Amino acid sequence: MSITTKQFIKDFKAQFQSMYAYSYEEGSTEQLYNALGLYVKNQLSGNWKETREKYVKNSVKQVFYFSMEFLPGRQLESNAYNLGLLDTIKKGLKEMGLSFDELEEAEADPALGNGGLGRLASCFMDSLASLGIPGNGNGIRYQYGLFRQKFVDGYQVELPENWLRHRNVWETRNDKSTCMVRFGGNVWLEKNHLGFMETKYENTLNVLAVPYDTPMVGYRNDVVNNLRLWSAEIPVDEEENYHTLEATEPIKEITQVLYPDDSNYEGRLLRLKQEYFMVSAGVQSILRHYRKYNLPRKNIPDKVAIHINDTHPALVIPEMMRILLDEEHLSWEQAWEITFKTCSYTNHTILREALEKWPIDMMKELLPRIYMIIEEINRRFVETTLPIYGERLTWQTAILQNGVVNMAHLAVIGSHSVNGVAKLHTEILMNDVLKDFFQLYPERFNNKTNGITQRRWVHLSNPGLTKLIDKKVGEDWKKKPSELKVFKGFEKDKQTLQKLAEIKLENKQRLADYIEEVQGIKVDPKAIFDVQIKRLHAYKRQHLNMLHILYRYLEIKENPSVDFVPRVFIFGAKAAPSYIYAKQIIKVINSLARLVNNDPDVGDKLKVVFFENYGVSLAEKIIPAADISEQISLASMEASGTSNMKLMANGALTLATLDGANIEIKDFVGEENMFIFGLSSKEVYELKAAGNYNAREIYESDDKLRRTLDALTNGTIPGLQDEGYAIFDSLVNYNDEYFVLKDFDSYVKAHKKVDELYKNEKEWTRKSLLNIASSAPFSADYTIKRYADDIWKAKQFSKQGRSVKPLDE
């Protein structure tokens, strides 16, 4: 899209005036941001409309990505960039005496997700549009996003995230496309006068689902896909029944707030309501849209792919069956064939506590018709599986087990494809978590290693690096990430290495300024910036990181004159509000930070920064400044990780266990260009199987480790209540579930290697360059191309009606 600066200034002024009826000079930052956002939205609305129309006109296959979470981040810059308007806008604003960066900060960052799973969904939206694949998101428009995290005296406190308090310029309320979703009541089947079985309902709770559409803008290709988020409202013709506030509660609560638990299942009724609400509205709207194609229903799988992002939307399967059976009057066999061919499922975690299992009684009462259908799916599954595979396998894979509905089983049985999110993770699914299903349906299983969008995570968040790459390898890598490998050719080029080091230092200086501004901590930009940013969870082992910091601190205290390579440890992490242990770890890290940062013996040798309220916008500031990427989960536990990919793409060296996608990082960049430590996943399995792990023995036999652990409880860290004891206890007395002590020694050694290498700036920067140049395979564009080819059978479709050349690798 090309627009002159002059034209932009004129249109922007007009936009502002039409909204606020005074001159932009008098506008507040927020008003100016609103006007700019709407200006950009106006620019893309033509393509949005045309993309939609072309898809229908050409009867293309469309993908619908169902996810309870999306974490899009701020959209102004990314949209303007993808449209090709960013430079003009920045220039125009400057001429008007305004700063783009300042206006951008006024945009709310919609925290409609917990972490990796939601952010992945948004990276996928960006890649779908950028590849010109007809793909839409389907989710919930939570009124309150993930809580805002504050630290009070080092403790996490949760505040409501009222992101819609400000106007959301990107969304369009689409009253034309509302649906009705029914809960509870009584259901029965009755023969009607034509002899058809008809489903009858009484006393149901009827909820109006109102879609809010948000444009998903492709990179310089005129494609704009759709993200549809549903909001629950009282049906207009039932308003008279809702005259008290209490009466409206059961409806309003459905889309009020995102569940703040990452990788943990909470069997609450409201969550089940949310899941069904999103699923039912989504499926209804898809099938309504399909009618525009004027094709027989049996062709649905040729034109529609529905993706189930973790088990949360797995009710898609019975809901689709319900509509095809009850409303379209297909036979069971016809309906099942269509449903099965349409749906595919991604598993994102092996944590047992995250696998959803709904009590049958709850499901029966809230979703009586859906439960009847699940029962029938289960009955038919058992009927066909039992004679071939026998009792054991059949009962282990059944959907209904011991009073619960096993959602992963429902998802696998009702989907033609099941995938994990990194090589190791998919292997673990096949050999452990879903091994019985792998025996039944080996052909369904496949791996799709996660990816990230370089547009947001490199081009926009790291303009210095982007410019350098442009200069060295040309701009092709922006459309064709594989071109990045050309950058490897500069690993020995002195001038490039020097420039790369300068860019990193500038990014670090910027982050250092920000740290001082928001945390009041002065850090040396020349120190190693060592970053661990992700949800707080015992398996991710932030406490291993903490123990190593404590260990270093004690070393410095013991010998203050020793020559240490200065290090700044940076954390960003939210803990689920009910996850006490995770919150205790936060408190200990914060107290340790206060001790270390204020100890004159320590000075610049060691600093600890724990950012409040980690989220997408903060990640964009931290990642370009990172030297070390901490990916230290217990091997086998982290399905993939995606911060590892973002950090690598920005030149951080990975310090990691061989877990999740760290293994692919090693495959691409080579072991010698990262720091690997700890047990392998195989060793973890063996150690668990042997059952003879003895944490106390390690504690007692390793002097330095013992000293470190004792410092948790002996008053070394002021300000702790019983948090230090709690962690000590879990590690030493409760046998250290995540093998922190077992991996400690090898972790410390890996850190020593980091220090050694950092002393050699040239060598460090060379490795950093190789990491950047090897990060292309993690482009979500490739990941999405594989989903589209292997699972969805969806083709690239550009606005002009020609397909874009497939990406090579």
Q: Which residues bind ligand CR1 (CB under 6 A)?
A: 115-117, 120, 262-263, 310, 348-349, 354, 421, 450, 638-642, 660
Label residue 693 exposed, middle or buried (CB < 10 Å: 0-12, 13-18, 19+).
middle
Q: Which of 228, 307, 348, 478 is catalytic?
A: 348
Q: Which two tokens stand for residue 568?
A: 């700044």
| Nearer Cβ to ligand CR1 (419/713) | 419
Q: Return the number of other C-beta atoms located less than 10 Å from residue 180's C-beta.
A: 13
| Residue 150: active-site member | no
Measured in residues, the chain has a length of 809
State how far the Cα of 702 lies from the Cα of 708, in Å rounded to an integer.
10
Kindly give, in sequence order, each residue whose CB lies less than 8 Å from that of residue 726, ignoring residues fewer than 6 positions away.
581, 584
| Nearer Cβ to ligand CR1 (154/641) | 641
Nearest approach, Cβ of 422 to ligand CR1 (angstroms)? Answer: 8
- CB distance 254 to 290 below 8 Å: no
Q: How far is CA 178 from CA 138, 170, 191, 272, in A?
A: 14, 19, 29, 21
Nearest approach, Cβ of 429 to ligand CR1 (angstroms)? Answer: 13
The three state secondary structure string of 425-484 is: HHHHHHHHHCHHHHHHCHHHEEECCCCECHHHHHHHCCHHHHHHHHHHHCCHHHCCHHHH
| Nearer Cβ to ligand CR1 (9/424) | 424
Helical (H) or strand (E) element with 607: strand 606-611
| Nearer Cβ to ligand CR1 (645/695) | 645
| Residue 193: active-site member | no
Helix (H, G, I), strand (E, B) or coil at 144: strand
Nearest approach, Cβ of 418 to ligand CR1 (angstroms)? Answer: 14
Q: Which two tokens stand for residue 669?
A: 């960049």
Helical (H) or strand (E) element with 241: none
Task: Single out the residue of 272, 280, 265, 277 nearest to residue 362, CA to CA.
Answer: 272
| Nearer Cβ to ligand CR1 (130/644) | 644
| Residue 534: active-site member | yes
| Residue 646: active-site member | yes
| Residue 642: active-site member | yes
- CB distance 407 to 349 below 8 Å: no
Kindly give, in sequence order, each residue whose CB lies less than 8 Å from that of residue 622, ignoring residues fewer than 6 positions away.
511, 531, 533, 570, 572, 611
| Nearer Cβ to ligand CR1 (135/660) | 660
Q: Which of 534, 541, 552, 607 is catalytic?
A: 534
| Nearer Cβ to ligand CR1 (79/349) | 349
DSSP string, 494-526: HHHHHHHHHHHHHHHHHHHHHHHHHH-----TT
Task: Single out the residue of 42, 17, 311, 13 nearest to residue 170, CA to CA.
Answer: 42
Nearest approach, Cβ of 350 to ligand CR1 (angstroms)? Answer: 9
Residue nearest to ligand CR1 (CB): 116
Nearest approach, Cβ of 660 to ligand CR1 (angstroms)? Answer: 5
| Residue 765: active-site member | no
| Nearer Cβ to ligand CR1 (454/640) | 640
Nearest approach, Cβ of 277 to ligand CR1 (angstroms)? Answer: 19
Q: How far is CA 728 from CA 547, 591, 713, in A?
A: 10, 15, 7
| Nearer Cβ to ligand CR1 (168/263) | 263
Q: Which two tokens stand for residue 484?
A: 């990045």
Q: Which of 322, 456, 540, 567 is catalytic?
A: 540
Nearest approach, Cβ of 540 to ligand CR1 (angstroms)? Answer: 8
State how far the Cα of 639 lies from the Cα of 9, in Å rounded to an integer.
48
Nearest approach, Cβ of 190 to ligand CR1 (angstroms)? Answer: 40
Q: Which of 409, 535, 605, 767 is catalytic?
A: 535
Nearest approach, Cβ of 311 to ligand CR1 (angstroms)? Answer: 9
- Tell me the pairing of strands 404-406 and 417-420: unpaired
Quote the radius of gyration of the chain (alpha carbons, Å).
27
Active site residues: 348, 534-535, 540, 642, 646
